[in-house]
Structures are given as structure tokens and as C-alpha cells.
Structure 1
Amino acid sequence: MTRPGFVSLVGAGPGDPELITVKAVKAISAAEVILYDRLVAEELLSYADPRAELIYCGKTPGHHAMTQEMIQRRLVECALEGKRVVRLKGGDPFVFGRGGEEALALAARGIAYEVIPGITSAIGAAAASGIPLTQRGVAASFACVTGSRGAGHGEEAAGGPPVRWDLLAHSVDTLVIYMGVGQLKEIRGELLRHGKAGSTPVALIEGGTTRRQRTFTGTLAEMHKLAAAVQLSNPALIVVGEAVAVREQLHQLEVQAAEMIG
């Protein structure tokens, strides 16, 4: 009987391949099978052994190369064959990465596994845009929330309770919204309806930490119009809160410093 293998649930970080952790690189290099997602930088696959089996299981809106159930089944099958497996995900496995479901599937079959954290998109994209998610005197808390939950469509939204925008509008200083590009108008409406000021600063960050990054700032009241004007596309994050205004302050100080030096 073949001895079960080992599975590493690995966070690839927010997009920039240089933000991968040393531990993640070691796991990729040692893997015999790698199941990787759409948002994983291709450069990271160069760390893999040339003999490793690479399996693409990425998801785009409306199209999944593999369903979540198929991914979990393949992880289990490969591990039961005695192989060392890496499940490579964008961001962090346990932040909207469905790593918890995969860990449960592995644990149910008695398969040994580990979780290797990655920099989640909220942290990486905000930092790359000059936006501190917390700032003394401005923001003492932040929350990461899905924009798709309760939207009535999509695998990520299925089976879960709706987001409590009524509570988030006032209980958290900075909101970072994942998977919300298609529901910008609805999210705006929910936050305004529950008392969030329309003048609240907002940032839209497309392709955060990558060479394709674009960052646009505006207000909550107009964010859906801003997104349409710049033709915002996925992957993108929405940051809502007064901390967004720090980005402009940094820019102004950098310009003043450059003028003084010049």
C-alpha cells in the first residue's frame, strides 16, 4: 500500500513574484505536482522541478478550469499516490482562497498537509498604492470583505449569508473589498443606505503590485462612475475609508521634497 504523500497549501502573494516567501519557494521546488491558480505569477513556476506535473485550475468570472470539488479530489488523489503536492494560490490560502475547504478535505482523508501563508492582496495592493490600512488618528481597524457574497450569482457567493454592510459601514475604519468590481453600484448603494458618507475617500486598485497596476481615487458616492470612466477590470480591489486620503498627502510631500532638492 502506497504511503500517503504531503500537501502544501501555498500563498503566492498579491502578484509581484518577488513577494513570494522563502518557505513557499522551497515547497514549489520540492513538489512533484503543482496545482496553480490564474492569479499566480508565471515566474513562480520557474522554481518548479522540470519533472513536476503542472496542473492549471484557474477561475475567471463565468468559467472555471476546474470546480472546487474537482480541485479537492485531485489533491487527495495525488497525495494518496504518495506524491508531494503544492496547491499554489494567489494571495493567502486562507483569505478568500478556499484553502480552508481544501484543508478540511485533506484532513478528512488523513492526509498530512501544511499551510504556507502569503501576502494577501489587501495588504500588498494597498501598500503598493501608498495607502496605509491603519493610520494613527485616522484608522484603527480594517476589514477584508467579499463583494460577491449575496450577489445572487457565482460560485463564491453560493451558500453563504449576505455581507452585513449595515454593520461594516460604521464598525470598521477601512474596508477592503475583494471580488467587487461587478457589484460596485450595489456596494455603494448599501454603504450609503446605511449611513456611510458619500464623501468618504475610495481607491480602486487594479493589478495591485504588478507592472499593470493602476490606482484611482475618488469618493464613495461616485466610485461606480469612476470605475466605468477608467474601464476598471479584474483583478481589482476597492478600498473605502479616510486612510485612502493619506495617499494624496504622501504624493504632495514627495512633490514638495523633489522641488526643494531640485
Structure 2
Amino acid sequence: MAEHPAYPVGLRLTGRRVVVLGGGQVAQRRLPALIAAGGVIVLISPEATPSVEAMADAGEITWERRRYTEGDLTDAWYALIATGDSEANARASAEAERHRVWCVRSDDADRATAWTPATGHSEGVTIAVLTTDVKGRDPRHTAAIRDAVVEGLRDGTLVARHHRTRAPGVALVGGGPGDPDLITVRGRRLLAEADVVIADRLGPRDLLAELPPHVEVIDAAKIPYGRFMAQEAINNALIEHAKQGKAVVRLKGGDPYVFGRGMEELLALAEAGIACTVVPGISSSISVPGAVGIPVTHRGVAHEFTVVSGHVAPDDERSLVDWPSLAKLTGTLVVLMGVDKIGRIAETLVAHGRSPDTPVALVQEGTTAAQRRVDATLATVGETVRAEEVKPPAVIVIGEVVNVGLPAAQAPQPS
């Protein structure tokens, strides 16, 4: 038997008797998967770890607090033998053989009739890895292979495309602040499975270069708008491609719902009857200051931080921001999309009570290789932006946390 590799098979244990002998660490590791498989699990052991005992208390398993006796494997479909008594293990293994019960032994794999593979899960798929080298079994090697496959499927570096017909759908994916490594695992996986990607200028552009050649990449800034508003044209493009049965990813910078107009797109898709998944992203309002060593909150300095859009000036009738109230706050103010308006914003804050000496940091192209930080105060920031030629995209941090953080020369650098 030892000359041949194990035959891999998936056991369907729902409603079937499974016997586990021993309540130690091996049982603690294996029981959750057996419970998830729906087995009717009987644990036979005089003692158990606290975690195993909790499973019994919750009614997930039946615990008989005694040692193994002949006949315990009657009517069992599967057995896990993991006691510290080698003689009892041998007797139980022999009983399993007589009753043709597939049996795993933690103490002697060569005498077992079944082996437990290294398993992992990703999006409804179970990955199970078994060695074919029966004379040199290496559990750590099989576990490493399992981990590599699961990680690759989860982060999108290992692409396994679906071939069955899928319902039309769109994923609104927050790509994070710019560094491609800062997209979420789920976002990267959905990107790898996409047929069409409609990307913002501020999305992590480096990820687009990794997509397979068949993926259609559409620059949202270059969609022909015709008689439509820009956002309306993007909505229509999402709907059109999804109705063709394609997997569509709308790749956005930061988070879809933080000044990303994600809800507008979600509502348009819902009205068209298109299923939509929203994948949150790391917002630049927090991550970009952190990338240059500035915490948006700090004990004894700032107990709150406020994120506002600066795309319209404080005196613009379209502005929804209560700038006089913001000027009275003592915490951190983070301004997005405000580079060309920061001079007027600073003047408004000072006019309503904020000190002109309040420190300001402008972080351009945060988390990318082009990242740079420029420091100023509310009194000088307007002129500083002009003199230093600060360009969007840039995150502006206003408050004492700017001085709490590391000086620009000592701040962390993007990798």
C-alpha cells in the first residue's frame, strides 16, 4: 500500500457519523472543518482542550468523556484517531480496517487508510494538496503549496477564469491612494477576473499593466460624452458592458464612497437592474498623511479629524461645507481636491478664528514614487502652493498633527 500515492477524493459527510478519538490539539485543528462538512461528530476522549470543549458546549459535537473501547467505530463513515495512547490508536485503527471505515491517524500516517490534505478556501473553491511521495511526506511543503495557491487566488496574481455563463454585474472597486499594493485583496482578485475595466485617472494605474491582453481597459476621462454629462456617460458605459454579460470593474482611486461618486453609479446600475458589488478602498484622506508620517489623530493633540472637499471655494454658492464651524474645531482638517482653492480656504478659516500659524502639509501623489510633501501655515499656504508648484492630486492636512509627525526628511518613503 505504501508504494502507491493516495487517491484524492472529496468526502460528503453531511448527516454521516464521524468519530474523533482524542480531544487535544490535533482534534482542535481538524474539528472545525468536519463540523463545516455537516458530519454527525462523536468525540471520544476523557479530556479536551478548552476550544474543543466549547464546541461540545455549543452542540456542534457530541462528547463522550471516556477512553476508546472496541465497537466505537460501528456505523462510522470516517474516523480521526488522535489520542496519546499508541496502543489504543492501534486497536482503533484495526477496528476501522475491519469495518472498512476510512481512518486518519495522527501518530502513524503510514498505517492510516486516509490522509488529511493541506486545505484552503477561496470564493467557493476548496484547495487540497496531498504529497505523491509516499516515502518522503513533507506536511510543511504541502502546506506551503496550499498557501501559495490560496494567496494567489485571493490577491489575483493567480487567475482562474470562470467559464460558465455569469449574470451581468459590476464591481465598484476602491483602488486605494495610488500604490498598487494598497488595493484590497478582494479588489485585486475582481480586477484579475474582469472582462472590462473602466478606470479613473486616480486609480492605481500600475495594476492595469498586469491585466491579460483580452481585458478591455477604458479610461473614464476619455469616454465620448456627446450630449451626456461626464458621469452620465460613465454610468451608461457600465450598464452597456454589463448587459453584454461581461464582468465589469469600475476602478476608482481611494474609496468609491469618499468623494468618488460611487453611490451615483450604484443607483444608476440598480435602476437598470444590474447587480453591483462595492469593494471599499483605503481612502487617501487617512493613508496619504500616514505615508509621510502624519497621524490624523494623536493623543493630547487631536481627538477628531474632518474630511472635506475643496473642489469649490468657500464663497461659492455650490459649497455645502460650513467653513465657519470648521474654523472653530481644534482637531485635524483634511482637504481633498483643494489645491487650487487652498488660498481662499485658508483665508476663510483664519477669518473665522483659526490661527494663521496653524501648520499645513500638502502631500502630492501620496504613496507613489512621485510622492512629495510641502509644509506651510495657513498664513503662507496660498503663496507656498504657487511657489512650489504643487499640483493635484494632493491631500492637504491642516492642524497641529502636522508638527507631531516626523519631519519631511525623516518621513517614510514609498516603496
Is TM (by shorter chain) over 0.5? Answer: yes
Which portions of structure 1, spanning 4 or more consecutive aligned residues, are displaced by more than 4 angstroms? 150-153, 248-254
Q: Which residue of 2 aligns with 1:259?
A: none
Q: Per-residue deviation at 1:249? A: 6.6
Among 179, 182, 188, which residue is 1:19 paired with? 182
Matched residue type, 1:107 = A
Larger Rg: 2
Q: Does 1:30 align with 2:193?
A: yes
Among 184, 197, 202, which residue is 2:360 paired with? 202
Q: Which residue of 1 aligns with 2:264?
A: 101
Report if aligned partners of 1:174, 1:243 keep a CA contact under 8 Å in 2.
yes
Aligned to 1:231, the other structure's residue is in SS state coil
Could you give the per-residue CA deviations for residues 36-92 of structure 1, whole angstroms, max 9, x where no partner exists?
A: 011223221134232111111138xxxxxx811100011111111221100001111
Q: Does 1:176 align with 2:339?
A: no
Q: d(CA) in 1 for partners of 2:411 and 2:319? A: 43
Q: CA RMSD in A?
A: 2.4
Q: Does 1:240 align with 2:398?
A: yes
Among 248, 251, 256, which residue is 1:88 paired with? 251
Q: d(CA) in 2 for partners of 1:69 and 1:143? A: 29
Q: d(CA) in 2 for partners of 1:208 and 1:7? A: 28
Q: Per-residue deviation at 1:183? A: 0.7
Q: d(CA) in 2 for partners of 1:100 and 1:89? A: 12
| Matched ranges for 1:112-261 at <5 A | 112-149=275-312, 160-171=318-329, 173-248=331-406
Q: Per-residue deviation at 1:145? A: 0.6
Structure 1 residues without counterparts, runs of 5 or longer: 60-65, 154-158, 255-262
Report if aligned partners of 1:150, 1:163 keep a CA contact under 8 Å in 2.
no
Identity between Structure 1 and Structure 2 (%): 47
Q: Relative to structure 2, which stretch is displaced further, 165-174 or 89-98? A: 165-174
Query: Which structure has the higher relative contact order (CA within 8 Å, separation 6+)?
Result: 1
Matched residue type, 1:38 = R
Matched residue type, 2:382 = H
Could you give the per-residue CA deviations for residues 14-45 of structure 1, whole angstroms, max 9, x where no partner exists?
A: 01111111101110011111000112232211
Report if aligned partners of 1:78, 1:85 keep a CA contact under 8 Å in 2.
yes
Go from structure 1 to structure 2 and tell me whether the alpha carbon gap of 1:53 and 1:118 turns closer, same or farther (over 3 Å shift). same
Report if aligned partners of 1:32, 1:49 keep a CA contact under 8 Å in 2.
no
Structure 2 residues without counterparts, runs of 5 or longer: 1-164, 223-228
Q: Which residue of 1 aligns with 2:173?
A: 10
Q: Does 1:111 align with 2:274?
A: yes
More helix by share: 1
Report if aligned partners of 1:34, 1:87 keep a CA contact under 8 Å in 2.
yes
Q: Which residue of 1 aligns with 2:219?
A: 56
Q: Which residue of 2 aligns with 1:63?
A: none
Report if aligned partners of 1:3, 1:81 keep a CA contact under 8 Å in 2.
no
Aligned to 2:405, the other structure's residue is in SS state helix
Q: d(CA) in 2 for partners of 1:58 and 1:253? A: 33
